[in-house]
A = this chain, B = another copy of it.
């Protein structure tokens, strides 16, 4: 049913269409890909492939373009990964060598690299803070009714927020509270903060219940809101050079999707969830009206724990062979870099 020659023809169609964005005709294949048969034969094969749903015609008597199913078959069986070039690897290595000053910075740089290497839109989800644990908690008195609550996590992120305090509390009080919080929270993961711990702190801080409420609120919010919704995008306008965006309407829908961070986070996290690179093609992204787009995503992890995701969004007519390699390579590099940042094993 899918003999060798048919595979070759399908491969040629997908390959050529990815390169040119033009429907591919039988003559083109015969000439460019030297299968040793005439256009007429290839036409027959194409007819079969169309019947099986791997390719389609935009209109009668145009060339063929791959269907989503065709891309899927290509990705699963036909494509051979296109490893990164020496220059590209060098570029990545150089970028990551710069002194790290901040986890956010690493994330951002990853996004930039990803879009630069693929020419599509890159998305990076920062490490979830829920999983990491407190390194240090500090409350800083600002003025009579306000203080700044700062939590430093062991993955190198910093959370902060302003809190209102009753005027009766003095700078001294705040220091006491800081100390207690530190003693209790240090080393605890955000997630693992449970009732008994809270009770513990409560008893020690009976006088300052109000502050405590606020702290717990911060913990809560940090966990659910603040960071989860943040996502780094890179090279959104890169994509506009793709010929599929000659149409203004499509640019608009695209960009309006890009402005909805929550949606994007869901998309990124929606990969099959297992280890490696996930490829979703067209309708396989079961979200919204994101049509004719594909996503390639992968989780990165630190010490074996999945911390976040990186991904690339592009048209279905995407250079899968290349992008898959890049994403794979980058997750590894990112995991490694973050691990060094966090454990301090930088040379």
Q: Which residues of A contact B (CB under 8 A)?
A: 99-103, 135-136, 138, 140, 142-146, 148, 150, 152, 154, 156, 158, 160-164, 221, 236-237, 240-241, 245-246, 248, 251-252, 255-256, 258-259, 341, 343-346
Contacts and interface: CB of A to CB of B under 8 A. Distances in A.
Nearest to A104: B160
A160 B135 CA distance: 14
A142 B344 contact: yes
Nearest to A246: B248
Q: Which of A99, A138, A142, A143 has the most CB of B within 10 A?
A: A142
Contacts of A142: 135, 154, 156, 344
A152 B140 CA distance: 8
Contacts of A164: 99, 344, 346
Contacts of A158: 148, 150, 158, 160
A257 B341 CA distance: 33
Q: Which 10 A-B pairs have the closest CB atoms?
A: A237-B255, A146-B344, A101-B161, A145-B344, A136-B140, A158-B160, A143-B344, A140-B152, A240-B252, A102-B161
A100 B237 contact: no
A160 B150 CA distance: 11
Contacts of A162: 100-103, 156, 341
A343 to B, nearest CB: 7
Contacts of A152: 140, 148, 150, 160
A236 B233 CA distance: 14
B240 A145 contact: no
A252 B146 CA distance: 45
